[in-house]
Amino acid sequence: MLQALPPLHIATYGIVSLGGVTVGLSLVAWDFTRWWTSHKKKLAPKSLTALAPQILCLAYGALLILSAGGIIGGIADWSLWGTNQVGDVVLVYGLGGSTPTVTRSTHLALTPGGHAAVIIITVVMVAVCSKRGFRWDFVRQILAGISLGLASSIAGAVGVVVAPTVSWAGDYVAGVL
């Protein structure tokens, strides 16, 4: 007699420190500065469209850290842990500062339709990367989104804006409403 497998649960980290937010904002600043130095003389609508992939990857990273768990959520949690550790080491040992927890006090979660949307967006991201090749600017902005998605400050606004929108769209398209 076959038994059903228990559901897969991976513990979520879900805590962002000032070090993690510092790393996330530094990654955003890196790509924005590189964009600005190459477009400051000719700031046209076409040059603004060069920022669109960065913004979308930032939003995607925030969605990943707001996922409930599983393999993709576990990878996002591991990435958040890593950015927290790197930022904490730099702030504490590099500057002699401290790194308090700056996690949002209210939990923001995706709905079942939102989780389905994250899977679809992940498929799109893999398709784009398989066509155009590996892009470090995508990785930096996804890590930045993971680092900033749970922050309680204005840096965490990306999670507050993106999660309800994607959850509503996923629920509406999937018929969960």
- Cα–Cα dist 67/92, whole Å: 30
pTM, rounded to two decimals: 0.82
User: From residue 98, how far is each of 94, 165, 170 by CA, in Å?
Assistant: 11, 35, 39
**In the chain, what are the domain boundaries?**
49-174
Q: What is the pLDDT averaged over residues 158-172? A: 83
User: From residue 112, how far is each of 29, 38, 45 by CA, in Å?
Assistant: 33, 41, 36
- Cα–Cα dist 149/118, whole Å: 14
Q: Using DSSP, state whether 153 is helix, strand or coil.
A: coil
pLDDT at residue 64 is higher than 60: yes
Q: What is the pLDDT of residues 22-58, one digit of tens each?
A: 999 999 999 888 888 887 767 677 777 878 888 888 8
pLDDT at residue 158 is higher than 80: no
Residue 143 is predicted with a pLDDT of 92
Residue 154 is predicted with a pLDDT of 73
Smallest CA-to-CA distance from 99 within 9, 4, 23 is with 23
